[in-house]
Amino acid sequence: MMARNTALLFHLLTVAAVSAALTSCGVRDSAPDSYNKPWHSIANAVPKSEPRSRYGNPASYEQFGKRYHVLPSSKGFVQEGVASWYGAKFHGERTSSGEKYDMYAMTAAHKTLPLPTYVEVINKDNGRRAIVRVNDRGPFHDDRIIDLSYAAATKLGVAKTGTANVRIRALQPGENPSQGAVGASNTATTPDGKVYVQVAAFSSEEKAFAMLKKLREANFSDSRIHVDSKKGKLLYRVRIGPLPSADVAKKLLTQLQEIKQNNAKIVSYN
């Protein structure tokens, strides 16, 4: 009888932990009142060997009428989609793993990855990279694949935009992130032999995001922000591409001139 009661209690606690987190993930709530840490100074989570969490790892669970199956392993896991974030509203609440949610830690929520799993997140919209520790479940929106803590969202530039197109890759202890910086400098690397059209370069991140928004509203959907470090200062280059050829880039320059972007130029990397 005692063994049965213990098993039942464990099941109920697991369900409670998952349910508490389910309501938190996928909701864009408020940012903390006084968080002004520069994004490039926010340290990444460091992958290490950890046992599976006692809570939050059932074989499967159901939410909003849909069943999710927790993966037996995170090895080789890669996914692309939309990231969102959750913040002050749930700070201190219990996550699916049973830990308290800390919006200042580099953590995240995912529907099916084992808890915990370390994940590299690349913001495809601006080139920023970060490493987070997945310790929660969600977001339960069909168009979103990961919910970031406020700190992680700040590092990746998602806190300002609300959502972003991302690529995530599970990391094993000792495994290196993708080629390209994850830290403060050179946060976007350009693949060899690629052609881009650079529309503008700014020392202000705000101005770069404003330009990015303007271009996307004009249907230049491949617009990106590439961040470089120049003499110790960050430079935000707004570019379109990579493009298949210089001829395509020239046609793009003509289209940009039609919306008064006369300073755009073709750039290539060999």
The 10 Å Cβ neighbour count of residue 131 is: 20
Q: Report pLDDT for 230.
A: 67
The reply to whether 194-269 shares the fold of 22-171 is no
Each of the 270 residues of the chain gets a pLDDT tens digit; together they read 433 343 333 433 444 444 444 444 444 467 777 777 888 889 999 999 999 999 999 999 999 999 999 999 999 999 999 999 998 889 999 999 999 999 999 999 999 999 999 999 999 888 889 999 999 999 998 889 999 999 999 999 999 889 999 999 999 888 767 644 343 333 333 444 578 899 999 988 888 888 988 998 898 888 888 877 666 677 888 999 888 888 888 999 999 999 999 999 998 764
Q: Report pLDDT for 193.
A: 52
Topology given in CATH for the domain delimited by 194-269 = Alpha-Beta Plaits (3.30.70)
- Tokens standing for residue 67: 């069943």
Residues 6+ apart with CB under 8 A from 245: 195
Beta strands in the chain (DSSP E): 60-63, 66-69, 78-85, 107-109, 117-123, 129-136, 144-148, 164-171, 194-202, 223-230, 233-243, 265-269
- How do the domains of the chain map onto residue ranges? 22-171, 194-269
Supply the pTM of this predicted model.
0.62
Q: What is the CATH number of domain 22-171?
A: 2.40.40.10
Q: Report pLDDT for 93.
A: 94
Q: What's the CA angle centered on 235, arms 232 and 237, to 5 degrees?
A: 155
